[in-house]
A and B are shown apart, each in its own frame.
Chain A
Amino acid sequence: MFYREAGQFKTSYEADQALFPIRQDRIGLAVILLIAFVGIPLTANDFVLTSIMIPFLVFSLSAIGLNILTGFAGQLSLGTGAFMGVGAYAAYKLTSLFPDVNVIVMVLCSGFFSAAIGAVFGLPSLRIKGLYLAVTTLAAQFFLEWCFIRIPWLYNYNASGAIEIPSRDMFGILVTGPEATPLTRYFIVLAITSVIALLMANVLRGRIGRSWMMIRDMDIAAELMGIRPLQTKLLAFAVSSFICGVAGAMMVFFWLSAAEPSSYSIKLSFQILFMVILGGLGSLSGAFMGAAFIWILPVVLKFVPGMLGFDIEAATVEHLTFMIVGALIIFFLIVEPHGFARLWQIGKQKLRVWPFPY
């Protein structure tokens, strides 16, 4: 009975189509935003900001990106890492070519490059489907990774082959580079992620979002209803890659501050895919939940033995972390294949009928 919707009547379609039609959800969101914008900055230390919150937000954003492609448009992609890399390298090149332009503008612009590349690799999706499509995205992954290594122009001919982010400021405050405070970087990442998430929430509940889901759920029927499959899929590839690109650029600009090609390897692709699936395919809030689980859990697990007073070797902790994360992934898939988002919904459903079991 805690989660009670009764008595909340929608009197207009506007109200019914709001993002969060139910009051409890709106309150919940407000609380989360309050924590994110006020609570965390006031309480968190540098470690929490740089090693937990910033990566968490970056991953959430890329999970949103992948979710659009895989969760909403139904095109399985294993190339997320590389698309993020395109964003990172594009942003890096842009900032070194136009050193005076605001980095944030550059980070956002980098998305267009990854969008273009994503669309190119999306072309075969017209003919190739499902797991078979995974191979084209894998081709993208490995080919782009190879480009990051083999085209020295991309990393300004650095001997190390890595990109290193120079310090840049905005309105007199350092926003990138080692001297930028974690808090500044946190706020930027938070702002970009929330704005993009909001914009995407809008797109997804409208015509375009629906057309993606139509393609996902039954492409033949969608086509017979007037959806042009190629255009729709390419748009999904482009939008998804755009977001992943921005996330990739943020990853190196506001988090790692230097990146090698291996930072954008297939491992990253899988990490993001995990987040999307565990969070719930086709759910924006799921992207956040999945990112939290996959990124934060291992970090936290590392500290558990120490806190409990066990003296376990770092490597053993790592092994155990692997096992636990693997087992939990399977566990959660079994509990709810549709991810945390669905789990949350069912939880709400239970709250609704509480204290009765159903």
Chain B
Amino acid sequence: EDTNYVPLLTYRTGAYAGSGIHIANGMHDYLAMLNERDGGIGGVKIAIEECETGYDAQKGVECYESTKGKNALVYNPYSTGITLQLIPKASVDKIPMLSMGYGLSAAAVGNTFPWIFNVPDTYWDGASVAIKYIAEQEGGLEKLKGKKIGYIFLDAGYGREPIPLLEQLSTKYGFELVQYPVPGKEMQNQSSQWLNIRRDRPDYMVMWGWGAMTPTAVKEAVKTRFPMDKLIGVWWSAGDEDAAAGGEAAKGYKAMNFSGVGSDFAALGDIKKLVIDAGKSQTDPSSFASTLYNRGVLNSVIIAEAIRNAQEKTGKKVLTGEDMRIGLESLDLTADRLAEIGLADFAHPMKVTCEDHAGGNPVFIQEWDGKQWQKASDWIEPMTDVVRPLLEAAAKEYAEKNAPWPARTEACPN
């Protein structure tokens, strides 16, 4: 029987499992639902296989090596570290890699990285939105001058990625950027960082937390009586447990998001009915439709839509990695299409082009009301004008440092 094989590099174990499990469930369940409901995509079932990485780069590479031979269509490493290792390998093996909203920001430059996709946004887009949102609160970008903005982050590739952009913005808008790195080992032991924050009294805090780092940070923020409405997390710090760790007192904590909030979507209803209630998933019903779960769903939506697109573009039903790349690179997920698949308004419409693999799509801010996340802003556009040149420069630098970096040989699909 023909299938389209989609390996999912997930982690349900290790220090970051707290975040990883929800993502893994969301990714798995949507694809499983398509298999149940529609018999796959275009009549071909999706073969889903999870490979456990434990957020560990070595194991991630091992997963990649052990699955790529099975005609893998696309990889989602869910770790910036693993992404970095796989970028060169995937480029050589000609298998696209979708790092949705994480990974190497520069990979958005499709001409340099034809095989890597990071729709809907890069970290730099995210960081610029955070600054923009702060400016909005203060009443305009010019009001940022003289403000102090703290940046607390997981001290790894993931958390360091936004720093160049933040520094750029800080010089541009004249605010002071103070960095608070949290070593991976000390994730659950952040009292020093928050003491420093207390002393420095930044006006706002931007947070790039993951795994157990986020709930600990939220708790510490509450403890040190940092004004919670001035703490803004990246979309990966937007988990329900993350905020719940602070309980009532964390009311006002904000985080960016680009995937739907809540379970009020037809497709999610199908998942619940056909997959979860049917006992075909590991999802704990209480965590269904949580922020990170929905994030996982969106990841699979992009995969599924890319498969469909590729099937249309190539006329094949059973695809290869190369076909998949075509599907991803000409992906156009419109509002209509989202509605059609039962996920109206679940995400902002996104379009991938040859040049731009990220799209720089708008994101919104959600706020914790003490019990739940609530949407707290409209879609905010990132500062593409600042981000794009930086991306170009970074891509160029990457190619130079890794010379001889192969030039793009893949034709643009349209």
A and B touch in the complex (CB under 8 A): yes
Tell me whether A263 and B57 are in contact (CB under 8 A).
yes
Tell me whether A256 and B52 are in contact (CB under 8 A).
no
Report B131 CB to chain A, min CB distance, Å.
Answer: 18
Tell me whether A162 and B157 are in contact (CB under 8 A).
yes
With A45-B69, A159-B163, A318-B12 as contacts: A262 and B282 at CB distance below 8 Å: no
**Quick one: which of A114-166 are within 8 Å of B by CB?**
142, 146, 149, 156, 158-162, 164-166
Report B271 CB to chain A, min CB distance, Å.
Answer: 18
> Which of A82-90, A211-219, A309-317, A345-353 is the interface stretch?
A309-317
Query: Residue A178 at the B interface, CB < 8 A?
Result: yes
Query: Residue B51 at the A interface, CB < 8 A?
Result: yes
Tell me whether B104 and A256 are in contact (CB under 8 A).
no
Q: List chain B residues, Cβ under 8 A from A267.
A: 56
Query: Residue B199 at the A interface, CB < 8 A?
Result: no
Q: Which residue on chain B has the smallest CB distance to residue A49? A: B65
With A257-B85, A318-B52, A318-B54 as contacts: A164 and B69 at CB distance below 8 Å: no
**Quick one: which of A160-184 are within 8 Å of B by CB?**
160-162, 164-167, 177-179
The total of chain A residues at the interface (CB under 8 A) is 43
Q: List chain A residues, Cβ under 8 A from B402.
A: 164-167, 177
Contact with A along B375-413 (1 / 0, CB 8 A): 000000000000000000010001001111010000000
Tell me whether B69 and A314 are in contact (CB under 8 A).
no
Report B270 CB to chain A, min CB distance, Å.
Answer: 22
Q: List chain B residues, Cβ under 8 A from A263.
A: 57-58, 81
Q: List chain B residues, Cβ under 8 A from A261.
A: 156
With A46-B65, A258-B85, A260-B81 as contacts: A313 and B160 at CB distance below 8 Å: no
Tell me whether A318 and B69 are in contact (CB under 8 A).
no
Tell me whether B66 and A47 are in contact (CB under 8 A).
yes
A263 CA to B58 CA in the complex, in Å? 7
Report B47 CB to chain A, min CB distance, Å.
Answer: 13
Q: Which of A255, A262, A322 contacts B184 (CB 8 A)?
A: A262
Tell me whether A149 and B155 are in contact (CB under 8 A).
yes
Tell me whether A314 and B88 are in contact (CB under 8 A).
no
Q: List chain B residues, Cβ under 8 A from A258.
A: 84-85, 87-88
Tell me whether A167 and B58 are in contact (CB under 8 A).
no
Q: List chain B residues, Cβ under 8 A from A69.
A: none
Tell me whether A166 and B13 are in contact (CB under 8 A).
no
Tell me whether B52 and A51 are in contact (CB under 8 A).
no
**Quick one: which of B259-285 are within 8 Å of A by CB?**
282
Query: Residue A50 at the B interface, CB < 8 A?
Result: yes
Query: Residue B62 at the A interface, CB < 8 A?
Result: yes
The total of chain B residues at the interface (CB under 8 A) is 49
Contact with A along B146-183 (1 / 0, CB 8 A): 00000000011100110110000000000000000101
Q: List chain A residues, Cβ under 8 A from B161.
A: 159-160
Interface of B is mostly: helix
Q: List chain A residues, Cβ under 8 A from B24.
A: 315
Report B163 CB to chain A, min CB distance, Å.
Answer: 7
Tell me whether A159 and B160 are in contact (CB under 8 A).
yes
A58 CA to B257 CA in the complex, in Å? 42
The tally of CB-CB contacts under 8 A between chains A and B is 117
**Quick one: which of B206-235 are within 8 Å of A by CB?**
none
A119 CA to B161 CA in the complex, in Å? 34
Q: Which residue on chain B has the smallest CB distance to residue A263? A: B57
Q: Which residue on chain B has the smallest CB distance to residue A322? A: B13
Tell me whether B52 and A317 are in contact (CB under 8 A).
yes
Query: Residue A319 at the B interface, CB < 8 A?
Result: yes
Q: Which residue on chain B has the smallest CB distance to residue A174? A: B404
Tell me whether A315 and B65 are in contact (CB under 8 A).
no
Query: Residue A259 at the B interface, CB < 8 A?
Result: yes
Report A332 CB to chain B, min CB distance, Å.
Answer: 23
A46 CA to B160 CA in the complex, in Å? 33
Tell me whether A159 and B81 are in contact (CB under 8 A).
no
Tell me whether A178 and B92 are in contact (CB under 8 A).
yes
Tell me whether A257 and B50 are in contact (CB under 8 A).
no
Report A138 CB to chain B, min CB distance, Å.
Answer: 12
Tell me whether B12 and A315 are in contact (CB under 8 A).
yes
Q: Which of B10, B49, B401 contacts A158 (CB 8 A)?
A: B401
With A47-B65, A51-B61, A318-B52 as contacts: A162 and B84 at CB distance below 8 Å: yes
Q: Which residue on chain A has the smallest CB distance to residue B400? A: A166
Q: Which residue on chain A has the smallest CB distance to residue B106? A: A159
With A162-B157, A262-B57 as contacts: A313 and B88 at CB distance below 8 Å: no
Tell me whether A162 and B81 are in contact (CB under 8 A).
yes
With A159-B161, A159-B164, A162-B84 as contacts: A47 and B89 at CB distance below 8 Å: no
A158 CA to B163 CA in the complex, in Å? 11
Q: Which of B50, B104, B105, B401 contacts A166 (CB 8 A)?
A: B401
Query: Residue B80 at the A interface, CB < 8 A?
Result: yes
Query: Residue A195 at the B interface, CB < 8 A?
Result: no
Q: List chain B residues, Cβ under 8 A from A319.
A: 13
Q: List chain B residues, Cβ under 8 A from A159.
A: 105-106, 160-161, 163-164, 394
Contact with A along B62-91 (1 / 0, CB 8 A): 100110010000000000110011011101
- Supply 19 further A-B pairs (C-beta < 8 A) apart from A159-B106, A179-B92, A318-B13: A47-B69, A159-B164, A161-B156, A161-B157, A161-B160, A164-B84, A164-B401, A166-B404, A167-B403, A259-B85, A262-B156, A263-B57, A263-B81, A313-B50, A314-B51, A314-B52, A315-B11, A315-B12, A317-B52
The 6 closest A-B pairs by CB, nearest first: A315-B12, A178-B88, A314-B50, A178-B92, A318-B52, A51-B65
Cβ contacts A to B, 8 pairs, < 8 Å? A96-B401, A158-B401, A159-B160, A166-B402, A256-B58, A313-B282, A314-B51, A315-B13
